[in-house]
Amino acid sequence: MPPLTVPPTADVLDVLRQDRLLAVLRGSDPDALTACASVLAHSGIRAVELTLSSDAGLEALRRSVADSSLPPGTLLGAGTVLTRDQARAAIDAGARYLVTPGVTEEVLAEGVAQDVPVLCGALTPSEAMAAVRLGAAAVKLFPAHAVGGARYLRDLRAPFPDVPFIAIGGIALDDVADYLAAGAVAVGVGSPLLRESAQDSSRAALDALAARATAYLAAARRDA
């Protein structure tokens, strides 16, 4: 059995190592999601994932990629990528990285073939090993909160000290420091960050999103 090695990655992992935060946008309103992506980017979050759990995610990704007002260095990716066709569509739309909820061989193969990094979901040691061997740029521990949180991450990392882990799933603001202390390269935050702004693009909702983004970014960078 070959040893575990971490393949060379594109700049998304460098950004995550610096900012330690990935924003995850999920919803069914492309207008709201596009507005959220803009607010998050202008709040300083450079890695923004738009999930493909609905058609709105891909449309919002296309619009956000075309938005010349986004700060330079904003990295837009596609999440909940389940199939090769979705991977190709996301890359064609401008995704700089792909994110999966589990070990999906065809998505990893497409990412490797097109030199687009894949943050691959895994929950167990066997899944983490499979993700790395198939070319994952990083392992996304998901759903982190449901399996023991930071303590589980610490235990999982023990046999894989060189594998970059990103913790995602139910991470509240007060949890960020614990996950980073447990060895996460970064944390991914979805609904605790997005809340009502996934469907409400009013000024009040977007201002509240900006405030939450600033708080999460400050917590993530505190010990960077």
Classify residue 67 by its DSSP letter: -
140 contacts 100 by C-beta, under 8 angstroms: yes
What distance in Å separates the CA atoms of residue 8 and residue 199, rounded to the nearest whole number?
A: 37
| Burial class for 65, CB neighbours closer than 10 Å (0-12, 13-18, 19+) | middle
Can you tell me the distance from the alpha carbon of 46 to that of 174, in angstroms, rounded to the nearest whole number?
21
Closest CA to 151 of 187, 186, 129, 181: 181
Q: Where are the beta strands (DSSP E) in the chain?
A: 21-25, 47-51, 75-79, 98-99, 118-122, 138-141, 165-168, 186-189
CB atoms within 10 A of CB 10: 15
Q: Are 50 and 61 in contact (CB under 8 A)?
A: yes
Place of tokens 């999440």: 79
Paired residues of 187 in beta bridges: 21, 167
Tokens of 213: 């983004």
Q: Which residues belong to the active site? A: 49, 140
